[in-house]
Every structure is written in C-alpha cells, then in structure tokens.
Amino acid sequence: QVTLRESGPALVKPTQTLTLTCTFSGFSLSTSGMCVSWIRQPPGKALEWLARIDWDDDKFYSTSLKTRLTISKDTSKNQVVLTMTNMDPVDTATYYCARVPITIFGGVFDYWGQGTLVTVSS
Amino acid sequence: EIVLTQSPGTLSLSPGERATLSCRASQTVSSSYLAWYQQKPGQSPRLLIYGASSRATGIPDRFSGSGSGTDFTLTISKLEPEDFAVYYCQQYGSSPPFSFGPGTKVDIK
C-alpha cells in the first residue's frame, strides 16, 4: 500500500525559509524509475508543479521558482525534503508530494499525499 | 515551456449527461504524455487518464481520453453524482517543467 504524508510548519513569516518533508511508504526511491514530485495549490487556484527528484538523484525544478527551491532525499528514511527560500504571502498554498513511477506510467503523479497548508504571514 | 489551456472554465450539466472537456497545449506534447486528474473539494487530485487515453487503475470506463499533438479531450459519457469536481490536464513530456492546465469545473446544473 502506497502512502505519502507531508509535514512542516503551518505558518511561516515573509522572508523565512520553508522546509517541508514528504514521508512515504509502499515504495522505495532507490528503485530504478521511481521519483517523487512536489506540487502546490494556492487556495481556490490551480495546481503548480514545483520540483522532482529521481531514484538516481537527478533533480528538476520549476523554471520560475528554481532559484528558491532545493529538493533532496534520504532513501534510508523514505523521505524527500523540499526547501523554499524567501517566502512571500503569494506562496500561501497547500503543498502536496506525489509519487512518480516513470517506468510504469511515465511522469504522472499516481499517488498523492493529503497535502499540508502553509500560510505566509507576519 | 508548454502552456496548457482548458475549456470551458465551468461546465454546468445534469447527472446522466455527457461531459466533454478540452485541453490545448501551446506546443506539441511529445508521445502523448498528457494526463487528466480529478479533484473534489478538500481532497487531493486523483489520476484518471495517462498517455492521453489510458485509464488509471480503478477508473470507471465512463471516463475516456483522446487526442494527440496539441489538442486533447476528456469525456465523461454519463455523469454520476460523484463526478462533479474540477478536472486538470497535465503534460509530462521528456523534460520539465511538467505543467498543469487551469482546470475545468464540472458543476450540477
């Protein structure tokens, strides 16, 4: 059974750095073709892809946010960490992590976490 | 970078009716790497269709996807009450970014 769960602060101040952790089970990021992505969704708005990390430690970032994002993994803990620097109120959103089994379905997100709402406010 | 547009923004239909949702890409989506997701209020998105026309595991056959190149369609043959939701298309070609469309809301008429 595949599960993912996001964790991190619910509230951050402007200019602070956000650190989110995705803890997953039911698959391994050391398996060839397995990846994890982060996606966010501002309240009432559309989904926005942020970043992806692959089993071989390849990393990909949103063009518009890549200077602020860092994605990393701890395979032994089944965790993926996303950091976003210089947070702004426009970054208020629900942040999701999702599994990406490249060799099964291509780059789609087949399992999602429940999401964590992050509010940026002073 | 591929930009996706979806139409209409909102589709008002009755249960039992057919829903046709459109997704258009600003450039050719390679190998039909186009997916559709359903999202209900307060829930995470759910994968419906990948590869433009393949249904994900457990998705009812009233959902079908078609299209290639830059024009793609999601069809719901007969709307069930649980199908009223927001639908997003997403392209996942060989290189990032892996963009989403703005969504189409299917609501009850």
3-class DSSP state of B43: coil
Q: What is the mean pLDDT of residues A103-122?
A: 93
A23, A79 contact by CB (below 8 A): yes
pLDDT of residue B94: 66
The chain A residue lying nearest B105, using CA atoms, is A46
Give the span between the Cα atoms of B36 and B23, in whole angstroms: 9
Mean pLDDT of each 10-residue bin along chain B, 109 residues long: 94 97 93 93 97 95 96 97 97 84 96
Whether A70 has its CB under 8 Å from any CB of chain B: the answer is no
Q: Measured between alpha carbons, how far is residue A47 from residues A30, A93, B5 in Å?
A: 27, 10, 13
Q: What is the pLDDT of residues A61-81, one digit of tens each?
A: 999 999 999 999 999 999 999
Whether B101 has its CB under 8 Å from any CB of chain A: the answer is yes
Q: What is the pLDDT of residues A20-54, one digit of tens each?
A: 999 999 999 999 999 999 999 999 999 999 999 99
Whether A115 has its CB under 8 Å from any CB of chain B: the answer is yes
Residue A89: alpha-carbon gap to chain centroid: 19
- From chain B, pick out residues whose CB is under 8 angstroms from the CB of A60: 95-97
Closest partner residue to B47 (CB to CB) among A61, A110, A113 is A110
Residue A3: alpha-carbon gap to chain centroid: 14
